A and B are shown apart, each in its own frame.
Chain A
Amino acid sequence: NAGVTQTPKFRILKIGQSMTLQCAQDMNHNYMYWYRQDPGMGLKLIYYSVGAGITDKGEVPNGYNVSRSTTEDFPLRLELAAPSQTSVYFCASSPGLAELTDTQYFGPGTRLTVL
């Protein structure tokens, strides 16, 4: 299994541009998450999904959108990029089948710079 994969690895955007960060997992996990990690800080939850067709906001959803049309994919859309969105973005997944199986597996991250 490839686990959780993310593309691109790096990206530089200009203010006001849009882009989609891709995330895919091949572990048949129900739950998927998007976090951002600012330099020297912890991870903040942006959006999460408990299954195909179901998404919900996390702590810091403003400026982002997500969709979950399949179990495998969970893309994150940035509209009108701002310098405050400069961060490393991590996608994660977990089985989510029961309360005691919530180990999260992280992708390698996307480093985004907005200038």
Chain B
Amino acid sequence: GENVEQHPSTLSVQEGDSAVIKCTYSDSASNYFPWYKQELGKRPQLIIDIRSNVGEKKDQRIAVTLNKTAKHFSLHITETQPEDSAVYFCAARDTGRRALTFGSGTRLQVQP
């Protein structure tokens, strides 16, 4: 099955700085890579996703890049704000199960 590793486990940045979270995956056939944001006590919410037929996708301050050859993808948040503080999870679709395999999460703290 799919295996997803995520780094770092915690990340602290100053407001206005950029934050980068990286994930690697094992199944070269995976073709869908979403990122979820989870605030304390809440459900995971999709913030951006990328399909394997593109290398980069942007949505305002958030971008995701995908390197299929190296089997890694990254989340980039620019001009961070205190409300960006949360746990972020990457995931890759397990093509065998048509389900998502999640990384272990990154706790992002944006210091005002």
Contacts and interface: CB of A to CB of B under 8 A. Distances in A.
Interface of A: 31, 33, 35, 40-45, 48, 50, 56, 58-59, 90, 96, 99-100, 102-109
B32 A90 contact: no
A109 B31 CA distance: 27
B49 A99 contact: no
Contacts, number: 56
A102 B93 CA distance: 9
What DSSP secondary structure best describes chain B's contact surface? strand
Interface of B: 1, 6, 31-32, 34, 42-46, 49, 51, 89, 93, 97-105
A32 to B, nearest CB: 10
A104 B34 contact: yes
B98 A50 contact: yes
A102 B100 CA distance: 9
Contacts of B42: 108
A33 to B, nearest CB: 6
A106 B44 contact: yes
Contacts of B99: 33, 45, 48, 58
B22 to A, nearest CB: 15
B98 A42 contact: no
Contacts of B34: 103-104
